[in-house]
């Protein structure tokens, strides 16, 4: 989708399962902005254990300097007035205030590019990412390759049942799965996930509309 590139800001959201290239696509867009001599700032959640201390690194080896934050509000506080393009990686780790922060930054004329998982290992949408999708000007849905059968994958399969902090895309802990091969992970429910309606509930609701 081609947007009118004027002084108005907007929000772009890149979503998909693990190993779908979200961080790579985020870095690609930010690099292009830097080539265009635009001022870029990049943020990542400090809870993402696979990242280095000051970089976002894709599985293909692409990397870009970033600023670690523990809350969405910290992004707004750290953005410089002259910054034109803002990148945010692993948005699902941030609190729901990230939706308001992105909207405020866009209202200030910033281009905001956000990447993150759209669903958790139970197959449920992350609440903050779901809200971003409903308010963004541009959405990119990426697919991975199912680790079991090779078909297009939309789910993130958890392979490790141990408790503890989430380790996104760590080898042996998560892998991409297609709709047929996906087996919702066991364990505790993430508090920031949205439980989808049962199939029967969706049909009943649709029929009564």
> What is the reported pTM?
0.80
Does 191 participate in catalysis according to the annotation? no
For the chain, the domains span 10-142
Top-confidence residue, 162 or 165: 162
Q: What is the pLDDT of residue 52?
A: 52
Q: What is the pLDDT of residue 101?
A: 97
- Selecting among 90, 100, 137, 161, the annotated active-site residue is 90
Are 104 and 79 spatial neighbours (Cβ–Cβ below 8 Å)?
no
Q: What is the pLDDT of residue 209?
A: 36
The pLDDT tens digits of the residues spanning 170-207 come to: 557 899 999 999 998 654 444 444 544 443 333 333 34
Q: What is the pLDDT of residue 56?
A: 75
Q: What is the pLDDT of residue 46?
A: 82
Q: Which CATH superfamily is domain 10-142 in?
A: P-loop containing nucleotide triphosphate hydrolases (3.40.50.300)
Q: What is the pLDDT of residue 151?
A: 98
CA of 167: how far to CAs of 35, 47, 99, 160, 161, in Å? 32, 9, 23, 10, 12
pLDDT at 80 over 90: yes
């Amino acid at each position: 989708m081609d947007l009118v590139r004027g002084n108005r800001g907007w929000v772009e959201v890149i979503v998909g399962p693990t190993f779908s290239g979200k961080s790579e696509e985020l870095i690609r867009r930010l690099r292009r902005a830097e080539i265009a001599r635009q001022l870029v700032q990049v943020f990542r959640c400090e809870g993402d254990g696979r990242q280095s201390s000051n970089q976002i690194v894709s599985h293909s080896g692409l990397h870009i300097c970033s600023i670690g934050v523990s809350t969405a509000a910290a992004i707004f506080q750290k953005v410089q007035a002259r910054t034109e393009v803002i990148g945010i990686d692993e948005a699902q780790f941030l609190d729901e205030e990230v939706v308001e922060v992105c909207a405020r930054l866009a209202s200030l004329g910033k281009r905001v590019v956000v990447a993150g998982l759209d669903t958790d290992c139970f197959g449920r949408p992350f609440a903050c990412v779901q809200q971003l999708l409903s308010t963004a000007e541009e959405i990119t849905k990426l697919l991975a390759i199912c680790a079991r059968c090779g078909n297009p994958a939309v789910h993130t399969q958890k392979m490790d049942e141990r408790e503890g902090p989430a380790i996104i895309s760590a080898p042996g802990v998560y892998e991409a799965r297609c709709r047929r091969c996906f087996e919702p992970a066991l364990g505790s429910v993430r508090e920031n996930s949205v439980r989808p309606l049962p199939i029967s509930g969706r049909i009943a609701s649709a029929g009564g509309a």
